[in-house]
Structure 1
Amino acid sequence: MSYTLPSLPYAYDALEPHFDKQTMEIHHTKHHQTYVNNANAALESLPEFANLPVEELITKLDQLPADKKPYCATTLAVTLTTACSGKV
């Protein structure tokens, strides 16, 4: 299983005038996508973790090799933040 970047539950221009559409689109499709890609690459060599749902992987971050933690922790934060946005 690979992690995928969830869609935002709102349009990129929904937060204007505080955040403009272009900033939101670049941040989501470029920055956040890179976090997901890096986590997937880091987990390729760890099949015991690569197939876990994101909610379970976050409970096992302490078991990951030190060189993989930054990629996975960042992606989990982004994924959970994106998945939970709009549910406030």
Structure 2
Amino acid sequence: MRNPHDIIIKPVISEKTTDLMADSKYTFIVDNKANKVEIANAVEKIFNVTVERVNTLKVKGKNRRMGRFIGKTPTRKKAIVTLKEGDKIEIIEGL
């Protein structure tokens, strides 16, 4: 079994995600190979909460230029985790 800290990379903090926190929905950047069950188990172990639902989406990388050189940002996977009513993740709430 994989380490939960290898699955959950970092939380996503933006206006949209902070609005979702009012509905007990938290957004994380996760490992590209992680599935919904692994993500739910990792969030439950790291933050000691109960996960009801996990929605995932892939964010395709964009082309970027540095002068005449063309590069690409990496493709990422985001997970929107819905917690049981009443549960909160305190680390993210304080930001």
Q: Same fold (TM over 0.5)?
A: no
Q: 1 or 2 for the larger relative contact order (CA 8 Å, sep ≥6)?
A: 1
Question: Shorter-normalised TM-score: what interval?
Answer: under 0.3
Q: Which has the higher helix share?
A: 1
Q: Which has the higher strand share?
A: 2
What TM-score does the superposition give when structure 1 sets the normalisation length? 0.24
What TM-score does the superposition give when structure 2 sets the normalisation length? 0.23
